[in-house]
Structure 1
Amino acid sequence: MLGNGVVGILAECSNKWERRVPLTPSHCARLLLGGKDRTGVSRIIVQPSTKRIHHDALYEDVGCEISEDLSECGLIVGIKQPKLEMILPDRAFAFFSHTHKAQKENMPLLDKVLAERASLYDYELIIGDHGKRLLAFGNYAGRAGLIDFLSGLGQRYLNLGYSTPFLSLGTSYMYPSLAAAKAAVISVGEEIATQGLPLGICPLVFVFTGSGNVSAGAQEIFKLLPHTFVDPSELPELFETVKCQLFQLIHILAAVHLS
């Protein structure tokens, strides 16, 4: 089956939010247009999915076949780990398996791959001539991650008794585009700028480590909010300043109450 020119695209099943695809309809069109002699691909079979970001009809429009059955495929590609029953014998698979560090929850998947004598191409382990990963998280991971974090932060603070502008922010999958998500974050930032944040949660400190793609994407979203970048050495002084402001506020409230 290996190298037979038939490629399969898995319907993602690792979590209910997963809408990504390993190959877009435009990718498929280029592979099929080149023909087997040029690209090595003669057919592409796509498992149907009602939650995938690209609808099934878009794949059909470029010549792909829609079918649950991928048994004719020599190469089967996905984003995340598939169900164990999708590991077919003597096929090649490509996805993020999360197994090379012996992650306990995915050991049954690795056992299944070995038992079926399948070939596994783990995206995380594909490197270039200089040992650098060719496939890795990009800026979008950081963008989505920080949006989801801010949304969760609003829920967390509400649970602690604080209402914040973060409550109006949805999680990243709820927005149809990056522009729409950024507009929502900007709106939160405008509310913070005009109304501020509860003093009890200030100073609100975000720490960014590293300078890779994910950190850069996260900082891109963060910069849409009112902020000041400070050196780590300035943090103790920053907290002392807010502590003094809180003491002054309590003192004023006490004076008003006594009067």
Structure 2
Amino acid sequence: MKIGIIREGKNPPDKRAPFSPDQLKTLRDSYGSALSFLVESSPDRCFSDEEYQNSGIEVTQDISQADILFGVKEVPVDRLIAGKTYFFFSHTIKKQFYNKKLLRAILDKNIRLIDYEVLKDEEGERVVAFGRWAGIVGAYNAFWTYGKKTALYDIKRASECRDLAELKLELKKVQLPPIKIVVTGAGRVGKGIKEILEVLSIPEVETHEFLHLYFEEPVYTVLSSSDYNRRKVDGGYDREEFYSHPEKYESHFLKFAEAGEMLIAGAYWNPDAPRLFRVEDINSPDFALSVIADVTCDMGGSIPTTLRTSTILDPVYDVDRENGAEIPAFGSQTSISVMAIDNLPCELPRESSVEFGRQLEQWVIPALLEENASILEKATIARDGDLTLEFMYLMDFVYAEDGN
């Protein structure tokens, strides 16, 4: 079996890689003739072509000899190779309109698409993700944004830090007034966010304390879905019902937006679930949030002030409270500053890639050598020109007229 590592084709290019040179060398040595590897040459990858070559891995301009192709982000339609098996984050399972053409091309080209996002263990937990790193960098960027907005301190960009150790050292420069910080998300992303908050020694408080008490130091609270969602008919909450029928619920988040000054959003969002607030709400004098770090970065998702994704080169834009329109970053004292980078782990690409590669080594490589491995079958979105049974719900979406 020949495995290829593709060159990332999105613009700006993603620097991450599914495997480091050392990991490919270890896999080759461990599996012998059962596996061989090719790496498509890239000037942008965090590991250089030379590093792969020095590990004994072939680097090529033509990746078409490989049977199975691993990438990170979506593959441009014109670079898809017909009939191949691909692993990457397709961002299609929530019917993301901007990737409709990608999914259609995958079907037209008889590609087998296995999406990292739906690789799960027997308990239904994701096994391959960059979530921790998105949380770490997203939270760091929240405090970078706050420093720029208030001019209270100045720290490097995460992408300017050599590694996680330097990033954490940089946080020692942060000087915060007694602000209240709202955090959503308790999974990998949430754990990454908390990692940064712990470096800053910011204490966590219960939600009722957050809402009703004054503190002489900065504090944060982590919200679960039950804290800000209520059943429409009677104001109740049932966890199982909320996750299976989120459309029956409405948001009760505003009280947290009125108490907190910063929101770091890391919770998974179902398109049928209520948004945290309405864009009209931000014009209320009681709406206190001034910095929103949308780590989830779902366009049209839970955060209505996420008007577009931002980039590592241009990480923040402001939203005018009066009309909800985008204005230049830090262009107004009263506007809301939004950080919505959609490839946050790319700011620490080497370390995040190594951790991701470890997960692939543990879960995916052994499964590739099994016949019809369940974990891969369940994560297959498309094969032989058709959507698989689990993802048939995408049929109307992918073949709908292009009006989004």
Scaled to the shorter chain, the TM-score interval is: 0.7 to 0.9
Higher relative contact order (CA 8 A, sep 6+): 2
The DSSP-based 3-state class of the residue aligned with 1:218 is helix
Tell me which residue corresponds to 2:63: 70
Structure 1, residues 181-206: CA drift from partner, whole Å, max 9, x if none? 00001222xxx2xxx64xxxxx4211
Distance, in Å, in 2 between the alignment partners of 1:226 and 1:41 is 46
Structure 1, residues 28-74: CA drift from partner, whole Å, max 9, x if none? 1022224554xx312x2212222322111110012222222211111
Tell me which residue corresponds to 2:181: 206
Q: Counterpart amino acid of 1:227?
A: I
- The count of aligned residue pairs is 216
Q: Which has the higher strand share?
A: 2
TM-score normalised by structure 2 residue count? 0.50
Distance, in Å, in 2 between the alignment partners of 1:116 and 1:36 is 31
Q: Which moved more, 1:54-63 or 1:220-229?
A: 220-229
Computing the radius of gyration over CA atoms, which structure comes out larger, 1 or 2? 1
Distance, in Å, in 1 between the alignment partners of 2:205 and 2:27 is 49
1:41 to 35, 42, 46: 35
Tell me which residue corresponds to 1:237: 213
Q: Counterpart amino acid of 1:218?
A: I
Pairing of 1:1-259 with structure 2 (within 5 A): 5-16=1-12, 18-35=14-31, 37=33, 40-42=34-36, 44-155=37-148, 157=149, 162-165=150-153, 168-188=154-174, 192=175, 197=177, 203-225=178-200, 227-234=202-209, 235-238=211-214
Tell me which residue corresponds to 1:249: none
Structure 1, residues 134-190: CA drift from partner, whole Å, max 9, x if none? 2234422211111122222333x2xxxx3221xx223322211110000001222xx
TM-score normalised by structure 1 residue count? 0.75
Structure 1, residues 76-130: CA drift from partner, whole Å, max 9, x if none? 1011111112211110000111111111001111111101101011011112223
The DSSP-based 3-state class of the residue aligned with 1:97 is coil
The 4+ residue runs of structure 1 with deviation greater than 4 A are: none
Instruction: Summarize the Cα distance change of 1:66–1:169 in structure 2 as closer, same or farther, 3 Å threshold.
Output: same
Q: Which has the higher helix share?
A: 1
Unaligned runs of 5+ in 1: 198-202, 241-259
Please state how far the C-alpha of 1:12 moved relative to its aligned partner.
1.9
The DSSP-based 3-state class of the residue aligned with 1:181 is helix
Unaligned runs of 5+ in 2: 217-404
